[in-house]
Structure 1
Amino acid sequence: MPVLKPKLRLPLLVTALAAGLVLGLVGCATPPPPKDALKQAEQTPPAWVAPLPHGGQATALQDWWSQFDDPLLGQLIEQTQAANPTLQQAVARIKQARAQATQAGSAQWPNVNLNAAAQRQRLPLVSGVPTQTLSTASLDAAWEIDLFARVRQQRDAAEARAQASELDWHAARVSLAAEVAQSYVSLRACERLTQISAADVEAMTRLSQWSSDKLKVGFESTANDALLQAAAADSQNRWLNQRAECDLVVKALVSLSGRPELELRAQLAPAFAKLPSSPGLQVAQLPAATLAQRPDLAAQQRQVLAAWSERGAAEAARYPQLQLGGSISLSALQVSGGPKIDGNGWSFGPSLSLPIFDAGSRLANADAAQARFDESLAGYRAAVLLAVREVEEALVRLDAAQQRERYAQSSADGYQRSAVATAGSWRAGLASAAELEQARRLTLNAQSALVQVQAARLAAWFSLYKASGGGWQPEASQSIPGGTAL
C-alpha cells in the first residue's frame, strides 16, 4: 500500500507546478487602465471663447432655481421629478445594474452548495427483494483561481456600468429640470402673448365699431371700413390661435409632471402671464473644467472603463483557467428495517484548463471587445466635443439675448406711442385707416418680439444650466432613490 502513495499524488503535483508557472504570467496579462486615452479624450479649451454675461462679475453660477422670483417654478420641477416616469425608469435601471454588479462580484468567491436526498425503493422485477432506504447529504465547493484577472475585470466592468446607470439618473434629473423650466417659460410667454392679442382684439373691436359709425355718417370710405373690419377679424384669429398654443403647452406640462390637468391649471393660474426673472443670476466663472460636473460625461467615462475591463476579460479568457474543487458526502443505507450502514467520503483537488485549439474563437472575442472599447472611447470624445459646443452655444445665446432685450423694449415702447398717436389722428380724420392698421401691426410685432426675446434669455439660462451639469458636483454626496449616495 505505501508504494501507491506517490502515484496518487503525482497528478496533484503536476497540476500545482503548472498552476505556479501560470501564476508567474499574471502580471504580463493584466493591462493598465486607459488613463492616457481618457485624458486625451477629455482635452477641452482652457477658456470658453464665447463672452461671459456681465463681464464675468458677481456671484457664481449656482442654486439656479432658488434665484428666480417665481417659487412655483422650483415647486413644479420638484413635483415633476417625484413622479416622472423617465426618472422611475432610471431608478429601475440602477437596481438592475447593481444586481448585475453583485452577481459579477460573487464569481470571485467560492461557490458552496449543500445537497441532501432520501430515497426508499423496492425493485419490481425480482420477488423477495427487501425494501431499501438510502439517505445522502453532500457539501460541494468550487472556486476559480483568477489567474489572469478575468473574473476581477468582469466585476470591474459590471461595477462601472452600475456607476454609469447612477450617473444617468443624475443626468436625467438635470435634463428634466431644464425641460420643465423651458416648458414653464414657454407657457408664461404664450400667456403674455395671449394678453397682447386680447388687448389687440379689444382695441380693434372698438376701432371697427367707430369705423362703422363713421361710415354711416359719411366720414369714412367703404374701403377703409373694410380694412378695419378685416383687421378686427385678424386680431380675433390671432388671439384664438395663441390661446390654443397655450393649451398645448399645458398639455406638455401635464405629460411631464404626471399631474391631473385641472389640478395643474389651478396651480398655474395665480402667476398667469408672468415671466420669471432673476436679476442676481449671473456668471462669475465658467471654466472649461465645468464639464467635469456633467453627469452624462461622467457616465460615458464609466462606460469606457467598463468596455476596457471587458476587453481585458476577453483577453484573459484566452489563457489557462485554474479551479479548486472539493466535496464532503455522508450517506446511510437501511435494508428492510435492518441496521443502518453509514459511510462518508471526500474529495479535493485543482483542475486546470489549457486552451489549445478553438479555431480562433477566443481571439475573435478579444478583437471584438477591443473594437467595442475603441467605439466607446470615440463616443466619449464625441460627447466631450458636443458638451463644449453646448456650453459655447448657450453663452452666445445668453449674451445675444441680454443685448437684444433693451433694444426690443425700446422698439415696443416706441411703436406703442406711435400707435396711440396714429389712433388719435385717425379719430380726428388726420390719418387713414391704412396708417392705423400699419401702426397696429408694427406695435403688435414689436410687443411679441419683446416677449420672445425675454423668453429666449431665460431659455439660454436653462440651456447653460443643463450644459454646465446643473450644479452637480462629483465629490458631493447626492442621494439616489433606493440606494446609497454617490
Structure 2
Amino acid sequence: MTAYVHTGRGITLALAMALALAGCAVNRPPASPSILSSTPPEWYAAKVKPDASATADAVNKTPASSDLPNDIRLSQLTNWWQLQNDALLLDLIQAAQNASPSLLTALANITQARANTSIAQAALLPTLDASVSTSRSLAGPINRAAAAPASLQQLGLQTSWEIDVFGRASANRDAASERLLGAGARWHAARVSVAAEAASQYYQLRSCESQLRIAQADTRSREQTSALAGLAAKAGFESPANAALARAGAAESRARSTLQRGQCEQGIKALVALTAMPEPELREKLAQAPLPPPQQALLAPDSLPAQVISQRPDVFNAAREVAASSFEVANARAERYPQLSLSGSISRNKTFTRNQGLDFSTWSVGPLSLNVPLFDGGANQAHIASARARYEDAASLYRGTVRQAVQEVEQALVMLQSSADRNDDAALAALGFETFFDATEARQRAGLASLVDLEDARRSLLNAQAAVASLALERRKAWIALYRALGGGWSSASAMPAAMTFQDLVSP
C-alpha cells in the first residue's frame, strides 16, 4: 500500500509516523565474531627458540611494532624476506609477484568491491536527472496554407530520494564496505602465497644443487676406486668380481648424478614459469649468487599468543564476510518496514507559434510517499531466512578458517621442533660416517679391508650427507610454513591501502 501526501500538514504527519516507526530497531546477529572461542590459550606444539644472535640481529634491523598484544614485532614478519640477506631471493619474489595472475585477479576484485561500495553509498543520496526535449507540430485547419506550425522546447530537472529511515540502504553500504576490506586482505594473502611459493621453489633448487654436488663427489670417488680396482685386478691383486663391483658402483653413482641433475633442471624450469624470467638470465643469476646461508630463526614462536592468527588475511576476510552477512540480515529485516520517499521537479517550457513565444515554468515538491508493505505471499520472510542462513554459513566458515589457521601454526611449530631436534644428530652422523669412510678407504688401500667394506662405508656416508641437505630444506620449508600461517606480517590497520596502484601490486 502506498500513501501519497502533498499538504504541509500531511508531510509533517508522514514524517512523524516514519520517525516513530524508526524507533523499532532492526536487530541483526553479531557482526564481530570472537576469535577467542576458536583458539587455544597457548600453542601446544613444542616451541622453537631461535638462535640468540640471529634474534638480536633481527631486532636491531627492524623497528618494534605494537600493533599486536605483548609488543610482538610484526615488522619481523613484514620484512621476513629482506632479513634472509639473499638478494637473489628478493629478485625472484618480486618477479613472481609481477607475473602472478592471482595478484591481478585480487586487484580486479578490489576494484569491483570498491565500485560496489560506491554504488551502495550512492543509494543513500538523492538522485537528480535532467531532461531536454523539443518538438514541432502543425495545428490548425485542414488547409495547410492556414495552418500554424508550433515548436515546443522543454528543459526539466527531476529529483527523488528514498529516506533511509530503517537503515536498509545503510546496511547495504556497510556490507559492501566489509567486503571491500576483505578484498584487500585477500590481495595481501595472494602476495604472501606467491612470495612463499617463490621462496620454496628457490630453496628446493638450492637444496637440489647441494644434493647434486654430493652425488658428483661420490661419483668421482667411485670412479677412482673403479680405476684402481681395475688396475689391481689386471695385476692379480684384486679379484675380477671386486673389479666388477667397483665398476657397478661407479655406474650406479653416475646414474644417480644424472637423475639429480635432471631434477635440478626441472627446478629451474619451475622457477622460470613462476617468475616469467628469461631462462638464460635466471641461470646467470643462479651462477653468480652465493649459496644462501643456513636458515636463521628470526622469530621466537613461544612469544606469540594464539590470538595472533587474527592477523591472518584469510581469518580477517572470513570475519568481514560474517559482518557483511550480518548487515544483509538487517537489510532483509528492514524490508518489512515502510519505505519513505520524496520526489520533486522543476520544468521550463517554451512554445513558438507564428513567431510568437510563450514561456512558462512549473515546479513541484512531492509527493512524499509512504509505502507500507501489507502482503507479499511470504517473500520477505523467505528473504530473511535466506539471509540468516548465509550468515550462519559465513560464521561456520569463519570458525573453520580459524581452526585451520591454528592447525597450520601448530604443524609448522612441530616441523620446526622436529628439524631442530634432528639437526645435531644428523650433523654428527655425517661427520662420523665421513671419518669411518676415510679410515676404511685407507685400510682398503693397505689391503686390510675389502672393496665391499669400502662400498658399504661409502653408501652410509652418502646417505648421511643427503640427510643433512634434506634436513636443511625441511627446516627452511617449516619456517616458510610458519610465516604463511602467521599471516606474513599483515595487520588489519593496513588491510586496505588508501590508493591501490599497479606499483602496490608489484612491490616486494
Q: TM-score scaled by structure 2?
A: 0.86
One-letter identity of the residue aligned with 2:21: L
> Are positions 1:410 and 2:428 aligned together?
yes
Is contact 1:156–1:309 with CA below 8 Å preserved after alignment?
A: yes
CA offset digits 1:358-397 (Å, max 9, x no partner) = 2211211111111001000111111111111111111111
> Which position in structure 2 is the counterpart of 1:338?
355
Say which of 17, 22, 25 aligns to 1:21: 17
Distance, in Å, in 1 between the alignment partners of 2:13 and 2:349 is 35
Distance, in Å, in 2 between the alignment partners of 1:77 and 1:209 is 46
> Which position in structure 1 is the counterpart of 2:383?
365
**Is the alpha carbon distance of 1:439 and 1:130 closer, same or farther for their aligned partners in structure 2, counting shifts above 3 Å?**
farther
> Which position in structure 1 is the counterpart of 2:163?
145
**Is the alpha carbon distance of 1:384 and 1:249 closer, same or farther for their aligned partners in structure 2, counting shifts above 3 Å?**
same
- Offset at residue 9 of structure 1 (A): 6.8
Moved more, 118-127 or 90-99: 118-127
How is 1:173-188 mapped onto 2 (pairs within 5 angstroms)?
A: 173-188=191-206
Distance, in Å, in 2 between the alignment partners of 1:394 and 1:66 is 21
One-letter identity of the residue aligned with 2:256: R
- Offset at residue 88 of structure 1 (A): 2.2
Distance, in Å, in 2 between the alignment partners of 1:318 and 1:482 is 42
Q: TM-score scaled by structure 1?
A: 0.90
> Which position in structure 2 is the counterpart of 1:88?
104
**Is the alpha carbon distance of 1:162 and 1:181 closer, same or farther for their aligned partners in structure 2, counting shifts above 3 Å?**
same
> Which position in structure 2 is the counterpart of 1:430?
448
CA offset digits 1:436-485 (Å, max 9, x no partner) = 22222211111111011111111111111111122223335884632999
Secondary structure class of the residue paired with 1:318:
coil
- Offset at residue 210 of structure 1 (A): 2.0
Aligned residues: 475
One-letter identity of the residue aligned with 1:17: L
Is contact 1:69–1:277 with CA below 8 Å preserved after alignment?
A: no
Secondary structure class of the residue paired with 2:157:
strand
Distance, in Å, in 2 between the alignment partners of 1:477 and 1:108 is 26
Say which of 86, 94, 106 aligns to 1:70: 86
Is contact 1:44–1:388 with CA below 8 Å preserved after alignment?
A: yes
Distance, in Å, in 2 between the alignment partners of 1:130 and 1:113 is 33
Secondary structure class of the residue paired with 1:50:
coil
How is 1:22-171 mapped onto 2 (pairs within 5 angstroms)?
A: 22-31=18-27, 34=30, 38-39=33-34, 43-54=38-49, 59=56, 62=76, 63-122=79-138, 128=144, 129-171=147-189
CA offset digits 1:63-91 (Å, max 9, x no partner) = 42233242322333234334433222212
Secondary structure class of the residue paired with 1:38:
coil
Secondary structure class of the residue paired with 2:436:
helix
CA offset digits 1:253-305 (Å, max 9, x no partner) = 22222222222222222236x24335462416111121132222111111111
> Which position in structure 1 is the counterpart of 2:293?
276
One-letter identity of the residue aligned with 2:41: P
Distance, in Å, in 1 between the alignment partners of 2:36 and 2:338 is 35
Gaps of 5+ in 1: 1-7
Say which of 329, 334, 339 aligns to 1:321: 339
Distance, in Å, in 2 between the alignment partners of 1:126 and 1:144 is 49
Say which of 501, 504, 507 aligns to 1:482: 501
- Offset at residue 319 of structure 1 (A): 2.2
CA offset digits 1:9-29 (Å, max 9, x no partner) = 777755753553343232434
How is 1:417-456 mapped onto 2 (pairs within 5 angstroms)?
A: 417-456=435-474
**Is the alpha carbon distance of 1:427 and 1:124 closer, same or farther for their aligned partners in structure 2, counting shifts above 3 Å?**
farther
One-letter identity of the residue aligned with 1:291: I
> Which position in structure 2 is the counterpart of 1:4?
none
* Amino-acid identity (%): 38
Secondary structure class of the residue paired with 2:426:
helix
**Is the alpha carbon distance of 1:132 and 1:240 closer, same or farther for their aligned partners in structure 2, counting shifts above 3 Å?**
farther
Distance, in Å, in 2 between the alignment partners of 1:477 and 1:301 is 13
One-letter identity of the residue aligned with 1:39: S
Distance, in Å, in 2 between the alignment partners of 1:483 and 1:197 is 45
Distance, in Å, in 2 between the alignment partners of 1:477 and 1:380 is 18
Is contact 2:139–2:150 with CA below 8 Å preserved after alignment?
A: no
Distance, in Å, in 2 between the alignment partners of 1:242 and 1:39 is 50
Distance, in Å, in 2 between the alignment partners of 1:14 and 1:401 is 79
CA offset digits 1:21-41 (Å, max 9, x no partner) = 343232434225615x60166
CA offset digits 1:143-186 (Å, max 9, x no partner) = 00112211000000111111110111122222222222211111
Distance, in Å, in 1 between the alignment partners of 2:373 and 2:408 is 50
Distance, in Å, in 2 between the alignment partners of 1:117 and 1:159 is 39
**Is the alpha carbon distance of 1:130 and 1:205 closer, same or farther for their aligned partners in structure 2, counting shifts above 3 Å?**
farther
Secondary structure class of the residue paired with 1:28:
coil
- Offset at residue 216 of structure 1 (A): 2.2
Distance, in Å, in 2 between the alignment partners of 1:387 and 1:146 is 40
> Are positions 1:295 and 2:287 aligned together?
no
Moved more, 184-193 or 236-245: 236-245
Distance, in Å, in 1 between the alignment partners of 2:236 and 2:9 is 122
Gaps of 5+ in 2: 60-72
Is contact 1:19–1:352 with CA below 8 Å preserved after alignment?
A: no
CA offset digits 1:231-268 (Å, max 9, x no partner) = 22221221121112112222222222222222222222
> Which position in structure 1 is the counterpart of 2:271?
253
Is contact 1:208–1:232 with CA below 8 Å preserved after alignment?
A: yes
Secondary structure class of the residue paired with 2:162:
strand
- Offset at residue 199 of structure 1 (A): 1.0
Say which of 460, 467, 474 aligns to 2:485: 467
**Is the alpha carbon distance of 1:359 and 1:403 closer, same or farther for their aligned partners in structure 2, counting shifts above 3 Å?**
same
- Offset at residue 119 of structure 1 (A): 2.3
> Are positions 1:207 and 2:225 aligned together?
yes
- Offset at residue 204 of structure 1 (A): 1.6
Structure 1 vs Structure 2 CA RMSD? 2.7
